[in-house]
Structure 1
Amino acid sequence: MTTQMGPGPAALATGPAISEADAQIERRLCELATCDSASIWEAQDELSSAIAEAGMHFEERAYPVCLRPLAIDWGLANHLSDTAEVMVKLLDVAAELYCCNEDVQALFPSYKHLRHLITCLPQHRPIVRICRLDGLIGDDGYYKIIETNTGGPGGVIQNGIAAKVWSRIPNPLTHGLSLDVDKQPLAKDPNCFVRELVSAYRAATARELRTAAVVNFLGRYKNEVDWIVNGLRDVGVKATLLDIGTMKRTPRGLVGSNGDIIELVYNKLDVRDVIESARCTDYLDACAAQEVVSINPWIAEWVLSDKAILAVLSDDRFSSNFSVEQIEFIARHIPWTRLVRAGVTTDPERQQIELIGYIRENKSNLVLKPSNATRGEHVLVGRVTSSTVWEEHIDRAARSPYVVQEYVRPGEVTALHPPSRSIKKMLCGIDCYVFGGRLAGFQSRASFDAVMNVGRSGILLPVATD
């Protein structure tokens, strides 16, 4: 297992620029915002119209793609790629550790009654075929993975198409710069996501995929479903969107409401919704028994996507289960994370602490997160949270599954925010898509909020290499 172990690439935003091209874009945007903002908004409106005409949306709202890209150099691109690919291999180790270690299982109390489903691991590796690793560049220059998103992440098709559309729009911010999006597989071939689903089925069964379903529940989280279904149909697969409750387990296999066998399923749902629903039993059992190829399996949908998985990796109690190279990787790329509960643990400097007291005394350096929530729900960044609210959430966190994580300073860019028609400084990060264990591409999200999420008025910056 190898990744970049020398000095990290330059840090984002308030530190050094991530590339000279990005610094030029920043200066140019600030200049044009002062003397010729009309030209910028004209180009932004052209981009937004092209995005809409291409059929992209975020749950029936405009897909918020910004004219301003995040330009990264090849040193950083390679660093991100190496880090992301090693992380997916590390998740295989974490999955196997969960299956055999009761102390690890105790970090995931919400899934105790589902353990018989979760521990049925598939034979193929990587276990996680599709994921998006969300992260920030630390002050030391190394990429820090703050969330794993191994359960049906957004942007797997639309972001590649958006990058293609962006690259064709005349752009006053990038004129004269040599920027490329096509070296990212999901931008070069937006169907690479669909091809990975087909490849995963072939790897698991040694057969060609004929039927597939994108699985939804209660009508929620339908973003990109139309693209996925149509993409599968375009490669000759009979694909449909199905509600989880309409599928039945039979001696022939998992079938939909019309009685057709379903060979592969891709989940677009909130796994919290299905945990207690009796309507989901057939589907949960069929996936666990591998009567249908599920992308991703339940251990990825529940455990590996839970924020407590980073507590497994960063806690010294479990370090004996990892190689020396893996421990070095974790130290560089995984922020200190703990499940919130009373008791003694170690702090980021490996000194013994009482955890609740430490959280109370170190607000400015910590973030509190529900362990299995999505879209930034109830996330509190200590340095922008009042002491009163922080204290209230410590009590809540100790009663329900929350994690506390070391704060990593986001990047900062000047960007156009189409929903508010403003040009302002925004916080930003960079995320890595990994399909079949290989980097598929990047996205950058920017927000006025310390919690960056498109569902919370965030925007997307195309990521280009120079």
Structure 2
Amino acid sequence: MTIAEMPAISKTDARIERRLCELATCDPASMWRAQDELSSAIAEAGMHFEGRAYPVCLRPFAIDSGLANHLGVTAEAVIELLDVVAELYCRDEKIQNMFPFYKHLRHWITNIPKYRPIARICRLDGLFGSDGHYKIIETNTEAPGGVIQNGLAANIWSRIANPLTPGLSLDVSKQPFAKDPSCFVQELMSAYYSATGSRLRTAAVVNFRGRYMNEVDLIVNGLRDAGSKAETFDASAMKRTRRGLIGPDGDLIELVYNKLDPRDLVATSDLSDYLDACAAQEVVSINPWISQWILADKAILAVLSDDQFSSNFNAKQIELIARHIPWTRLVGEGVTTDPERRRIELIGYIRKNKANLVLKPSNATRGEHVLVGRLTSSEMWEEHIDRAARNPYVVQQYVAPGEVTALHLPNRSIKKMACGIDCYVFGGRLAGFQSRASLDPVMNVGRSGILLPVAIE
């Protein structure tokens, strides 16, 4: 089987779907009892989504080992590619100009660490294109959700009696973060050792104004269990001293994990101590500012997919980009090339090709203001083209999501939903998968989406 022929959905997954539809008709009570047992076990383990139930579905997404290996190889190669782009950003003014929102932050961004990969913790979000190739539509190199919870959830799911999977051989333990719940914390420890040659003694999970607290307790407790002193601090409470970065208790901090929305830091004037210390590498920062701001911005996919930058990549990298990065452009007046490499005037092309395009703010999260052309009225599309031309937006080739029938937890019903599969990469190596499903074509747990445990047959 060639890569282009690899199915997104396995025969086993199709069998699970048929079984779900049968139970939904003949014995829905047994199915929902098992779902409630799973949901209770998830809650008892301390998992949540911003104080709400962590929406893990009883129905898994099953993939075969060949596809799992292919996704891992692809994800790891893309992380290496992001290192190349980070270095290009630091020296190429044309590429810097594709990220105008961060122009005043370059003195923090361009002081990049020597260790590789730069994005030590990352989640690549993807869908399967019509050509059969896995397409990465977002990079999530800042502080992606699910780094601990999804591995724990898969592990708990595997222990629940499941009426959807009798007689099936499904394994979650082939994913490192499901096999070993300490996988994420061990990567933080390893990242510190790689940067310093020393064992980590003190760490902080850095938040800002109490937002994005999911998994924070799990991370802090995991670091403590590994023998490090760890706390949660607000970024504004950090102080830069001659000794290094200190927290409000006055103790020196050796590593910080940024669990925050980096956009919130851009316009805040009282964070210079923290920003300066991280940029100067007086503390090991996971992930560094170039990863938080530039590599996480959707315009990074425009850098990768635009022919004008292809001379910066070798033949293997160009092939990787062609297969796995969808056509993406920063929205603005001017001439570029379309997905078939024909010269076009971009704004006119966006107007004429609504059905095949998606408009996205380049640095928004959780699907904010994403517009799928084929699901949008012509009037709204025109309005967003004007907005996109005045603000940092990207236009991207539409990649249709897969479809899956699953238990929609918010309203306790069986629904056919859009779905995709995402790859977690820790320290340049695949850590595991997540599959999101949603009634909304813009899939996000924050928009009533659900999570399907990924199991490998």
Picking from 133, 147, 151, the partner of 2:124 is 133
Q: Match of 1:355?
A: 346
Q: Match of 2:269?
A: 278
Quote the Cα distance in structure 2 between the aligned partners of 1:372 and 1:119. Answer: 18
Superposed CA offset, 1:234-254 (max 9, x none): 101100000000001100000
| 1:164-243 matched pairs, under 5 angstroms | 164-243=155-234
Q: Match of 1:425?
A: 416
TM-score for both structures, normalised by structure 2: 0.99
Quote the Cα distance in structure 1 between the aligned partners of 2:83 and 2:4. Answer: 25
Picking from 3, 12, 20, the partner of 1:7 is 3
Picking from 50, 74, 87, the partner of 1:59 is 50
Shift of 1:183: 0.8
Identity among equivalent pairs (%): 76
Quote the Cα distance in structure 2 between the aligned partners of 1:389 and 1:38. Answer: 43
Picking from 287, 293, 300, the partner of 1:296 is 287
Shift of 1:140: 1.4
Quote the Cα distance in structure 2 between the aligned partners of 1:8 and 1:294. Answer: 38
Residue 390 of structure 1 aligns with an amino acid whose one-letter code is: W
Say if 1:245 and 1:370 are closer, same or farther in 2 by CA, change over 3 A: same
Quote the Cα distance in structure 2 between the aligned partners of 1:212 and 1:386. Answer: 49
Residue 252 of structure 1 aligns with an amino acid whose one-letter code is: R
SS in 1 for 2:146: coil
| 1:317-466 matched pairs, under 5 angstroms | 317-466=308-457
Residue 185 of structure 1 aligns with an amino acid whose one-letter code is: P
Unaligned ranges ≥5, structure 1: 13-17
SS in 2 for 1:444: strand
Residue 7 of structure 1 aligns with an amino acid whose one-letter code is: I
Residue 94 of structure 2 aligns with an amino acid whose one-letter code is: D
Q: Match of 1:15?
A: none
Picking from 143, 148, 166, the partner of 2:139 is 148
Superposed CA offset, 1:103-160 (max 9, x none): 1111100011111111101011111100000000112111100000000000000101
Superposed CA offset, 1:224-268 (max 9, x none): 101101110110110000000000110000001111101000001
Q: Match of 1:25?
A: 16
Matched pairs, number:
457
Matched, 1:246 2:267: no
Quote the Cα distance in structure 1 between the aligned partners of 2:66 and 2:398. Answer: 25
Q: Match of 1:100?
A: 91
Quote the Cα distance in structure 2 between the aligned partners of 1:382 and 1:410. Answer: 14
Quote the Cα distance in structure 1 between the aligned partners of 2:119 and 2:262. Answer: 16
Matched, 1:112 2:108: no
Shift of 1:387: 1.1
Shift of 1:9: 4.6
Residue 197 of structure 2 aligns with an amino acid whose one-letter code is: A
SS in 2 for 1:114: helix
Say if 1:222 and 1:9 are closer, same or farther in 2 by CA, change over 3 A: farther
Quote the Cα distance in structure 2 between the aligned partners of 1:224 and 1:279. Answer: 26
Quote the Cα distance in structure 2 between the aligned partners of 1:8 and 1:462. Answer: 25
Quote the Cα distance in structure 1 between the aligned partners of 2:270 and 2:161. Answer: 51
Quote the Cα distance in structure 2 between the aligned partners of 1:424 and 1:89. Answer: 38
Q: Match of 1:83?
A: 74
Residue 153 of structure 1 aligns with an amino acid whose one-letter code is: P
Shift of 1:8: 2.5
Quote the Cα distance in structure 2 between the aligned partners of 1:108 and 1:165. Answer: 41
Residue 237 of structure 2 aligns with an amino acid whose one-letter code is: T
Superposed CA offset, 1:351-376 (max 9, x none): 01111111111111001110001111
Instruction: State whether residues 44 and 66 of structure 1, in contact with CA within 8 Å, keep that contact through their aligned partners in structure 2.
Output: yes
Quote the Cα distance in structure 2 between the aligned partners of 1:342 and 1:61. Answer: 43
Deviates more, 1:383-392 or 1:65-74: 383-392
Shift of 1:11: 3.6
Q: Match of 1:70?
A: 61
Shift of 1:436: 0.3
SS in 2 for 1:8: helix
SS in 2 for 1:310: helix
Instruction: State whether residues 9 and 79 of structure 1, in contact with CA within 8 Å, keep that contact through their aligned partners in structure 2.
Output: no
Superposed CA offset, 1:19-73 (max 9, x none): 1110100111111111111111111111111111111101110000000000000
TM-score for both structures, normalised by structure 1: 0.97
Quote the Cα distance in structure 1 between the aligned partners of 2:208 and 2:231. Answer: 14
Q: Match of 1:121?
A: 112
Say if 1:9 and 1:171 are closer, same or farther in 2 by CA, change over 3 A: farther
Shift of 1:171: 0.5
Picking from 255, 258, 262, the partner of 2:246 is 255
Shift of 1:195: 0.2
Quote the Cα distance in structure 1 between the aligned partners of 2:7 and 2:87. Answer: 34
Cα root mean square deviation, aligned: 0.9
Instruction: State whether residues 11 and 138 of structure 1, in contact with CA within 8 Å, keep that contact through their aligned partners in structure 2.
Output: no
Quote the Cα distance in structure 2 between the aligned partners of 1:392 and 1:144. Answer: 28
Say if 1:97 and 1:151 are closer, same or farther in 2 by CA, change over 3 A: same
Say if 1:11 and 1:387 are closer, same or farther in 2 by CA, change over 3 A: farther
Instruction: State whether residues 85 and 438 of structure 1, in contact with CA within 8 Å, keep that contact through their aligned partners in structure 2.
Output: yes
Shift of 1:445: 0.2
Picking from 313, 320, 324, the partner of 2:304 is 313
Q: Match of 2:26?
A: 35
Instruction: State whether residues 9 and 75 of structure 1, in contact with CA within 8 Å, keep that contact through their aligned partners in structure 2.
Output: no
